[in-house]
Structures are given as structure tokens and as C-alpha cells.
Amino acid sequence: MRGEPFALCFPSNNGSSCFSPSELPAAAMFSSIAPLVRLNPFHAPHLQLQQEGLGLRKRPAEPEEVSCPRRSLAAASAEEEYSCEYGSLKFYALCGFGGILSCGLTHTAVVPLDLVKCRIQVDPQKYKSIFNGFSVTVKEDGVRGLAKGWAPTFIGYSMQGLCKFGFYEVFKILYGNLLGEENTYLWRTSLYLAASASAEFFADIALAPMEAAKVRIQTQPGYANTLRQAAPKMFAEEGIWAFYKGVAPLWMRQIPYTMMKFACFERTVEALYKHVVPKPRSECSKGEQLVVTFVAGYIAGVFCAIVSHPADSVVSVLNKEKGSSAMEVLKRLGIKGVWKGLFARIIMIGTLTALQWFIYDSVKAISRG
């Protein structure tokens, strides 16, 4: 076969381009790098070595991959899980509905614990511990007194859940489009943290009015027993500012909480499947996966409570008092004061976070049929 002409060819829009026999040294050089070119992930044209005399090709060109629309891995996952278009109104509605259930129901369920926690924060001399707080509350107000503030809690945290989970998906898509698909994948953890923080910013604006009313009802005996009584009274005393003066401390409390909630939960799930669960996640039933979800959610909730508790103490005191600012309350409480009621809040937030993830994943499981 020596002496027979060779040509180095590569595909082009007009057919193929080949080197003539006089250019064989250059062709030989290119043939030596052809295997490297085939490994190139950036869709470069694959070079071909053709023996003209026999009409044979030693390495036919492989067809180029057909590139899919620029979507993130999260989009593909969402379509598989929800059976609806990622980013569609139906998808956002499903996320928002799951958020309403997961946040509204769970926070309402732990109103008695939340009430005692708030009273420990604003009056630690009277309510010395979680058990003492329950005892004193029942003696003064009866068992029904433990349910004070349930209405603003349900309304406020339902709105917060709607915005938190709904806007989280909105910002995840928005930031993903700004970064591009490749960077979205490489920086996906940072993307999730940024999206959750942005969503919580707006969720707290929706929560603030009801949170202010709830704290007034729970921590000021005789002020009001229901939302219908508290809201007009607050507006008459301080105007609209009464409902939003606690929004900055809410951001300080809820944004770190939400970022920890998502990041710690995901890491804990990975660790449980790697070190505790005896089989891969894909082989677990829906029930088994929900158990893992609950355990991971509770562990994440403990860390959420710790990072957000100082700001929560400021919110409780600020919404109780008239004319105070967040910095004034923080200075007055001091380092020790902002940690009052931490044990009660760990129990409450751990339970809340576990139930929220359990309910949210249950909604996803139901949507999958």
C-alpha cells in the first residue's frame, strides 16, 4: 500500500475538505492529533483519514451530538417529577401549594410551643423555662390560652410558604439563565443559596404584618385575643408601621434560616443515604424516602434554630414594645439575652422543618402519581 495516495479529510458544510498528496507531511501531523480531537467535548469537527485509492476510510466521522435546548439539570428533574413544563404556571402553582401546606399547617400545629417560646423571650422572669411557661400559661388562661395567635400564624405563614417555595423556583430559573447552563451546574450550590435568600426576602414582607399581630396577641395579656381585635388596635396606635417595623429583624432571622434549611437538608440527605440507609435511594420506596426526608429535616432544623435565634429574640421583643428600634432592643438584651428560649425554639424549629420537608415531598410524591 506504500505509494498509494492518502488524504486527510474533515466534514464541512460543502461536503468534505481533503489534503492533497503533496501536503502529506501536514496530513501526517494532523492524523497524530486526531484521537485527541475526538475527545474534545466542545463539538469540534472530527478528522477522517481516507485512503483514496481503495475508497476506504480508516476512521469514519462520528455524527455530532444534537444539542438540546439550554436547560439546567433541575429543569429535567422537575419535568420528570411533576409531569409538567418546568417554569410553567402549573409548576409554580404546584410549588406554591406545597409551600402553603408545608408552612401554614406546621406553624399552626406548634402554636402552643411558639407562644411559650415568645413569652420566655419577652418576660424571662415570669416564664423561667419551657415547662414552667406551659404551667403558668395554663393556670392563667386555661388550655385554650395555648392556642392564642393561631389565626395570624396560619395566614402569615401560609403566605410566607407560598412566596418562599414559589419565588425560590422563579429565582432559580432567573439566576440560572443569567449564568448559563454550564456555570449553573458548576455553581449550583451557590445558585440554590442565592435563590432561597432572594425568595425569603419577599416571603418575609408577606409574613411581617401577621407576625406582628401574633406576637402582640401572645405576649401582651389583655391586649387582644383575636386577629380581628388586634389588627385595628395596632393600626390606630402606630399606623401601618406597626405591621412592618419588624421586617428587618425578620430578614435577619429568616434569610439565614432558609439558606441553612436548604443547604443543610441536602447535605444531610446525602450523608444518610451514604452512611445510614443500607440501599441506594433509587431502590427505596416512597415511604422509606419520606422517612429519610423527615430525619434530615429535623437535623437541618436544629441548625436553622441556632443560626436564626438571636434575631428571633429581637423580633419578639420589638413587636411587643411601642416605639423601639431593632438596635435598641439588641443592646438592651445583650449577648445572653438573645439566647433566651433557645431550647424551646430548637424543639419547635426542628419539628417544623422536618414536617415541612415531609409535607412538601409528599405533595411531590402525589403529583407523580
Strand-strand pairing, 6-12 and 48-51: antiparallel
**Is 10 inside a domain boundary?**
no
**Is 40 inside a domain boundary?**
no
**Is 115 inside a domain boundary?**
yes
The model's confidence at residue 322, banded by pLDDT at 50, 70 and 90, is: low
Sequence length of the chain is 369
Q: Give pLDDT tens digits for 26-43.
A: 444 444 444 444 444 434
**Is 128 inside a domain boundary?**
yes
Task: State the pLDDT at residue 251.
Answer: 92
Q: Give pLDDT tens digits for 169-183.
A: 899 889 999 998 888
Tell whether the model's pLDDT for residue 313 goes beyond 70: yes
The model's confidence at residue 15, banded by pLDDT at 50, 70 and 90, is: low
Same domain, 174 and 319: no
**Is 29 inside a domain boundary?**
no
The model's confidence at residue 327, banded by pLDDT at 50, 70 and 90, is: confident
Q: Domain tally for the chain?
A: 2
Last residue of a domain, one of 216, 244, 272: 244
Q: Give pLDDT tens digits for 49-97.
A: 444 444 444 444 444 443 333 334 444 444 444 456 777 788 788 888 9
**Is 251 inside a domain boundary?**
no
Tell whether the model's pLDDT for residue 192 goes beyond 50: yes
Q: What is the Cα–Cα distance from 20 to 26, expressed in whole angstroms?
A: 10
Same domain, 305 and 238: no
Per the CB < 8 A criterion, the answer to whether 321 and 329 are in contact is: yes
Strands (E), the chain: 6-12, 15-18, 48-51, 56-57
**Is 108 inside a domain boundary?**
yes
Task: State the pLDDT at residue 139.
Answer: 92
Last residue of a domain, one of 210, 244, 278: 244
Q: Give pLDDT tens digits for 94-119.
A: 888 999 999 999 999 989 988 998 88
Q: What is the Cα–Cα distance from 149 to 216, expressed in whole angstroms?
A: 9
**Is 232 inside a domain boundary?**
yes
Same domain, 196 and 278: no
* Chain mean pLDDT for the chain: 78
Task: State the pLDDT at residue 291.
Answer: 92
Same domain, 285 and 346: yes
Q: What is the Cα–Cα distance from 357 to 348, expressed in whole angstroms?
A: 14
Same domain, 270 and 350: yes
The model's confidence at residue 360, banded by pLDDT at 50, 70 and 90, is: confident
Same domain, 232 and 295: no
Same domain, 95 and 211: yes
Q: What is the Cα–Cα distance from 209 to 247, expressed in whole angstroms?
A: 9
Q: What is the Cα–Cα distance from 293 to 289, expressed in whole angstroms?
A: 6
Q: Domain limits at 340? A: 256-368
The model's confidence at residue 47, banded by pLDDT at 50, 70 and 90, is: very low
Tell whether the model's pLDDT for residue 160 goes beyond 90: yes
Same domain, 123 and 215: yes
121 vs 87, residue with greater confidence? 121
Last residue of a domain, one of 244, 266, 282: 244
Tell whether the model's pLDDT for residue 46 goes beyond 60: no
Same domain, 214 and 116: yes
Per the CB < 8 A criterion, the answer to whether 247 and 208 are in contact is: yes
Q: 177: domain CATH number?
A: 1.50.40.10
Which candidate, 175, 164, 194, places its Cα nearest to that of 72?
A: 175
Tell me the mean pLDDT in the region 274-293.
Answer: 88
